Amino acid sequence: MSKIEDFLTVSEEQDIIKAIKAAEKNTSGEIRVHIEKSTDKPPMERALEVFHFLKMDTTKLKNGVLFYIAVESKQFSIIGDEGINNKVPENFWETEKELIFTHFKRGEFSKGIELAIIEVGEKLKDFFPYQSNDTNELSDEISKG
């Protein structure tokens, strides 16, 4: 895989956006996906920079979740804002990371991301249930860097 444009098809991107919308019907949490070509930084450090750049730290309940992927660097990270991290167990993200990793190894990039997003929505329901007056505070579109 040489370019970020080759990572996902337009249809796969739309499937991921649908997964975000579906997951956010379970939780008031806000989920974003950011894809970029590469990073020289550790993936968690770069994901944190992107998290702040996308203003994901400004949600009312501090419940943003970022799926960060650097295509050529073959790096990814999942991070949650402090509202989530203060409530969930320490290993909360490990299942989703393993799910993504398993599918990425098979070249099933979109499927891995979609399944992990749906699972995050299900798991966050216990900590941040969807409210009837919930507003979508962050874009569901995939951001690219």
State how beta strands 64-70 and 30-36 pair: parallel
The yes-or-no verdict on residue 1 having pLDDT over 70 is no
Sheet containing 64-70, strands listed edge to edge, beginning at the edge strand earlier in sequence? 75-80, 64-70, 30-36, 143-144
The pTM of the full predicted model, rounded to 2 decimals, is 0.93
Instruction: Please write the tens of the pLDDT for every residue from 6-15.
Output: 789 999 999 9
Instruction: Please write the tens of the pLDDT for every residue from 78-134.
Output: 999 999 999 988 888 998 999 999 999 999 999 999 999 999 999 999 999 988 777
Whether 65 and 100 have beta carbons less than 8 Å apart is answered as: no
Q: Which two tokens stand for residue 100?
A: 């993504």
Q: All domains of the chain, ordered by start, with CATH?
A: 13-129 (3.10.310.50)
